Amino acid sequence: MKNISEFVEQLASMEVTPNVFNQYSYDFPENSIRRDNLLLYLNQMDQLKPKILLVGEAPGYRGCRLTGVPFTSEHLLMNNMDGLKLFGSANGYKLAAENSKLSKEATATISYYYMEYPYRVQYYCIRMECLSLLSS
């Protein structure tokens, strides 16, 4: 889809201050893989038409910063998780750098765990409510 490609291009072209890393920029060759991963992911989402958009505050240093895909660690990108069929090399995803040990990131795992099984969100929210009541 043209609009998705334009969006990824805008991200790559965005100028940032020296203390900020743009994982999509043209400054490093491996960022092309991150752009490709994001483009693939956004096209998948366009096909799936999800009802919920989860927006994060900043790319996680062990997640999106490495993979280019929001809320997605290297481990999740290459291995999926039970019930999730989005990722993996068979779906076209690649690592920006070959590592002997793939990064894992808690937010990524938790986010997909609850999105894959929506009934867990209700349980988790109820549990969090109970914990906050107990601590007050």
Whole-angstrom distance, CA of residue 108 vs CA of residue 115: 11
Residues near 64 by Cβ (< 8 Å), separated by ≥ 6?
23, 56, 70, 71, 72
Residue 1: the pLDDT is 54
Whole-angstrom distance, CA of residue 57 vs CA of residue 71: 11
Q: Is the pLDDT confidence value at 3 over 60? A: yes
Report yes or no: 43 and 53 within 8 Å, Cβ to Cβ.
no
In this predicted model, what pLDDT tens digit does every residue of 25-83 receive, in sequence order? 999 999 999 999 999 999 998 888 887 777 777 888 888 899 999 889 999 999 887 77
Average pLDDT, the chain: 82
Alpha carbon distances (Å) from 16 to 22, 25, 31, 89, 106: 7, 10, 15, 31, 27
Helix spans in 61-118 (H): 64-67, 74-79, 106-116
Residue 118: the pLDDT is 55
Residue 107: the pLDDT is 78
Residue 43: the pLDDT is 92
- Among all chains, which residue has been given the structure tokens 């039970």? 82
Look at the pTM and tell me if it is higher than 0.85.
no
Q: Is the pLDDT confidence value at 128 over 70? A: no
